[in-house]
Amino acid sequence: MAKILIVEDNALNIKLFCDLLAAHGHEPEAVTDSRTALDAARAFDPDLVITDIQLPHVSGLDLIRLIRKDDELGRVPIMAVTAYSARGDEERIRAAGAQAYVSKPISVVRFAETVDELLKGDDTPEIDNPESQANQSDESPGPSEAGGEEDA
Ligand code: MN
């Protein structure tokens, strides 16, 4: 069981994510206002943060950066969820400091698998200088990891 903080402004998505996580034996807590998310995270001490990107007030990207800079939360894994996947979004999200990215509408299976992977946590990312990761695209492992576009 893991404590998972969800930052999401859409009530239906909150219910969906909470139900899914609870069904997998986790303890979810939801925050709808991103301005309170950092304090909520410090209080809840989550094993994983799942954040929407399209949030009013503090954007998901800014929230990810704030978490990464936080002394207590800096190493918590972050999974981003976003309805828009324009070219370059995944790179921006990862450069901000998230380890995983799932598009809405979510695939329930992929959502659950990604949560499991992040909670295993054996590939803790180098997060000391997230900006530098944006400049290392030359070292991307190959086409299978590049993902995103589907020609079908
Ligand atoms: Mn949203």
For 96-118, write each residue's pLDDT tens digit: 999 999 999 999 999 999 999 99
Which tokens belong to 150? 């589907």
The pTM score is 0.80
Assess contact for 56 and 34: CB atoms under 8 A: yes
What single DSSP character describes residue 96?
Answer: H
Work out the mean pLDDT of the chain and round it to a whole number. 86
CA 126 to CA 143: how far, in whole Å?
22
CB neighbourhood size of 83 (10 A): 13
Q: Calculate how far, in angstroms, residue 4's C-alpha sits from the geometric centre of ligand 1.
A: 18
Q: Any idea where the domains of the chain sit in the sequence?
A: 3-119
Q: Provide the token pair at 143.
A: 């086409």
> Which residues are close to ligand 1, an ion, with C-beta < 5 A?
9, 52, 54
Q: Confirm or reject CATH 3.40.50.2300 for domain 3-119, answering yes or no.
A: yes
Helices (H) and strands (E) in the chain, counts: 7, 5
3-state secondary structure of 104: coil
Please give the distance, rounded to the nearest whole angstrom, from the Cα atom of residue 137 to the centre of ligand 1: 28
Q: How far is the CA of 29 from the centre of ligand 1 (A)?
A: 16
Both structure tokens of 121 = 């946590």
When pLDDT is cut at 50, 70 and 90, the band that residue 123 belongs to is low
Looking at the chain, the whole-number percentage of residues with pLDDT higher than 90 is 74
Report how far ligand 1's centroid is from the alpha carbon of 2 (Å). Answer: 24
Helix (H) / strand (E) element for 5: namely: strand 3-7
Q: Is the pLDDT of residue 39 over 60?
A: yes
pLDDT at 129 over 70: no
Query: What pLDDT is stored for residue 122 in this prediction?
Result: 61
Q: How far is the CA of 87 from the centre of ligand 1 (A)?
A: 19
Backbone torsions φ then ψ of 116, nearest 5 degrees: -60, -45
Ligand 1 centre distance from Cα of residue 57 (Å): 11
